[in-house]
């Protein structure tokens, strides 16, 4: 085989995401070799990709069609399938070859695999890919983590297929070492859960609290999408609400009220608990899905429905804006904490910038977040950024009024209430942790610190 007959990159796994990324790579003129084990998926991909790519008959054949240092993009279901494909591929790879895992892989798995492969000199890049099917086809946001030289091997091909912002920058970056790319993608998804949840709460309040008809709600979302809350999720909220069932009426009214989840929101919440980072809006969004999933319990327990509310649409807008910003601040805080622990070298402005186009979280807010974190000293809370504080000063009164109206009428708004609880906690000088310490020391002699003396103290808390 001459050098010119080698492909530049191999793609393993041609399900929806893999097939669309392969099409995107082919469109960019990247010579690629592909392999899919599943016959049906392979046939489906063959009808799209045809002879624009080289078809390998297995991992060994795919590896043989790549010149060292080889680059292989794995687009297989996260979990055991990744280990299994890596096991098959490894005998045909050598030192300096690069494997890119483009699945929604848990960062701990990526770190483990990086260590394991490193023993053979094979480098693994954990690549967060966001944007769904459409993004994969036309330009996803790509969040990479791993060694610099490994990234340099695949950066040209991946940058070519990534989404671009209006200023022309590619949303494709090595964010840091190790599993940082997959961790950032996990947190991206956690924030995605939170933003979807607050939009769902706003929809519920408009539909069932304010009694607005579906076209009016779609107009509200479309209107919000013109201003500071513009973003992909707000945009598609308008479309989803407006979609009609072919049999008549809003399609949403025919959808079973039980939401699925594949685990990334849960991982983000678990990481927040592990690192002790307050990210309640992300966690509440996961718990909300758990409540929604308990459909038969809800039916058995159904009490009287919430009553009408008089929240203004403007206050609801403030509530959505404040909650969305707070969910981002929580997620970015979580990334900072994980980065401090792992030493990946992730910069938060880079994270905000890579989310500006292509991904599910793309929104006008990202430019402002990037600029705000650029101006902050490392490790400072996003809440200390003047621009973001101004934003919250404008929107928090609406959030407070929206929550008051919701809870009085009997609507559960966990994203909104957790966001406000986070803000009020984070900005309070003295909190009742003194009381918690008193109780802990009373029942368990756990000790407490005093603000007027050094050291750990213990007291007789018998009330005398």
Q: How far is the CB of 309 from ligand 6PG (least distance, A)?
A: 28
69 versus 265: smaller Cβ distance to ligand 6PG: 265
264 versus 418: smaller Cβ distance to ligand 6PG: 264
Stretch that binds ligand 6PG, among 34-42, 56-64, 80-88, 128-136 (CB under 6 A): 128-136
Dihedral, CA atoms, 336, 342, 347, 353, nearest 10 degrees?
A: -80
Dihedral, CA atoms, 323, 326, 331, 333, nearest 10 degrees?
A: -170
33 versus 361: smaller Cβ distance to ligand 6PG: 361
Helix (H, G, I), strand (E, B) or coil at 274: helix
Q: Where are the beta strands (DSSP E) in 95-211?
A: 98-101, 123-130, 141-145, 172-176
| Binding flag, residue 192, ligand 6PG (CB under 6 A) | yes
Residues of this chain, 245-284, that bind ligand 6PG according to CB under 6 A: 260-262, 264-265
Binding letters toward ligand 6PG, positions 348-387, x by CB under 6 A = -----------xx---------------------------
Q: Which of 94, 132, 228, 438 binds ligand 6PG (CB under 6 A)?
A: 132
Helix axes 365-375, 313-342, angle to 10 degrees: 50
| Binding flag, residue 225, ligand 6PG (CB under 6 A) | no
| Binding flag, residue 169, ligand 6PG (CB under 6 A) | no
- Is 185 a known active-site residue? yes
Torsion 210-322-389-224 (CA) sign:
negative
> Which positions ≥6 away from 59 have C-beta within 8 Å?
12, 35, 85, 88, 89, 92
Q: How far is the CB of 16 from ligand 6PG (least distance, A)?
A: 11
| Binding flag, residue 189, ligand 6PG (CB under 6 A) | yes
Stretch that binds ligand 6PG, among 34-42, 43-51, 124-132, 296-304 (CB under 6 A): 124-132
| Binding flag, residue 104, ligand 6PG (CB under 6 A) | yes
Give the count of alpha carbons within 13 A of 156, CB side only. 8
| Binding flag, residue 105, ligand 6PG (CB under 6 A) | no
Beta bridge partners of 66: 7
201 versus 391: smaller Cβ distance to ligand 6PG: 201
Per annotation, catalytic residue among 36, 106, 192, 201: 192
130 versus 417: smaller Cβ distance to ligand 6PG: 130
Which has the closest alpha carbon to 140: 128, 151, 149, 131?
A: 131
For residue 71, the surrounding DSSP H or E stretch is strand 71-74
Cα–Cα dist 327/380, whole Å: 17
| Binding flag, residue 13, ligand 6PG (CB under 6 A) | no
Stretch that binds ligand 6PG, among 68-76, 127-135, 381-389, 455-463 (CB under 6 A): 127-135
Are 74 and 85 a contacting pair, CB within 8 Å? Answer: yes
Q: How far is the CB of 232 from ligand 6PG (least distance, A)?
A: 10
Q: How far is the CB of 268 from ligand 6PG (least distance, A)?
A: 10
Q: Which of 131, 280, 382, 414 binds ligand 6PG (CB under 6 A)?
A: 131
355 versus 423: smaller Cβ distance to ligand 6PG: 355
Residues of this chain, 61-80, that bind ligand 6PG according to CB under 6 A: none
Pairing type for strands 456-457 and 448-449 reads: antiparallel
Q: Which of 130, 173, 186, 309 binds ligand 6PG (CB under 6 A)?
A: 130
User: DSSP secondary structure string, 311-344?
Assistant: --HHHHHHHHHHHHHHHHHHHHHHHHHHHHHHT-
* Helix then strand then coil, % of the chain, to nearest 5: 60, 10, 30
Per annotation, catalytic residue among 106, 185, 201, 284: 185
157 versus 264: smaller Cβ distance to ligand 6PG: 264
Are 306 and 410 a contacting pair, CB within 8 Å? Answer: yes
- Is 262 a known active-site residue? no
Q: How far is the CB of 263 from ligand 6PG (least distance, A)?
A: 6
Cα–Cα dist 298/383, whole Å: 37
Cα–Cα dist 406/213, whole Å: 19
Residue spans of alpha helices (H) in 410-464? 414-426, 433-444
| Residues acting as catalytic residues | 185, 192
Site of interaction with ligand 6PG (CB under 6 A): 104, 130-132, 189, 192, 260-262, 264-265, 359-360
């Amino acid at each position: 085989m001459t050098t010119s007959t080698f492909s530049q990159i191999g793609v393993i796994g041609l399900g929806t995401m893999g097939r669309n990324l392969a099409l995107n790579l082919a469109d960019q003129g990247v010579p690629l070799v592909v392999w899919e084990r599943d016959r049906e998926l392979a046939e489906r991909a063959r009808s799209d990709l045809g002879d624009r790519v080289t078809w390998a008959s297995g991992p060994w054949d795919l590896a043989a069609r790549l010149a060292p240092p080889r680059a292989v993009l794995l687009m297989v279901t996260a979990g055991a399938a990744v280990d299994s494909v890596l096991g098959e591929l490894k005998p045909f790879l050598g030192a300096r070859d690069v494997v890119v895992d483009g699945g929604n892989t848990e960062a701990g798995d990526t770190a483990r695999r990086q260590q394991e492969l490193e023993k053979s000199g094979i480098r693994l890049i954990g690549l967060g890919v966001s944007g769904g099917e459409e993004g994969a086809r036309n330009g996803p946001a790509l969040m990479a983590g791993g060694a610099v030289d490994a990234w340099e091997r695949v950066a040209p091909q991946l940058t070519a297929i990534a989404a671009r912002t209006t200023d022309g920058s590619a949303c494709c970056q090595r964010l840091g070492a190790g599993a940082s790319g997959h961790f950032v993608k996990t947190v991206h998804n956690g924030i995605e859960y939170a933003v979807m949840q607050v939009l769902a709460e706003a929809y519920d309040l408009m539909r069932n609290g304010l009694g607005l008809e579906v076209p009016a709600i779609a107009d509200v979302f479309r209107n919000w999408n013109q201003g500071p809350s513009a973003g992909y999720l707000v945009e598609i909220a308008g479309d989803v609400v407006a979609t009609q069932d072919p049999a008549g009426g809003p399609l949403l009214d025919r959808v079973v009220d039980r939401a699925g989840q594949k685990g990334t929101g849960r991982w983000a919440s678990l990481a927040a608990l592990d690192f002790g980072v307050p990210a309640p809006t992300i966690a509440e969004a996961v718990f909300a899905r758990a409540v929604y999933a308990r459909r038969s319990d809800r039916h058995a327990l159904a009490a009287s429905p919430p009553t009408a509310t008089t929240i203004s649409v403007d206050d609801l807008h403030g509530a959505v804006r404040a909650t969305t910003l707070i969910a981002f601040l929580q997620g970015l805080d979580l990334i900072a904490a994980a980065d401090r622990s792992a030493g990946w070298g992730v910069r938060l402005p880079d994270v905000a910038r890579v989310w500006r186009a292509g991904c599910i979280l793309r929104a006008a807010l990202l430019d402002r977040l990037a600029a705000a974190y650029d101006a902050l000293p490392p490790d400072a809370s996003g809440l200390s950024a003047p621009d973001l504080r101004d934003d919250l000063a404008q929107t928090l009164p609406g959030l407070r009024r929206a929550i008051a109206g919701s809870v009085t009428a009997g609507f559960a708004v966990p994203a909104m209430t957790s966001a406000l609880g986070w803000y009020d906690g984070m900005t309070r000088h003295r909190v009742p942790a003194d009381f918690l310490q008193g109780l802990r020391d009373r029942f368990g002699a756990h000790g407490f610190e005093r603000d007027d003396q050094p050291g750990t103290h213990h007291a007789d808390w018998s009330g005398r």
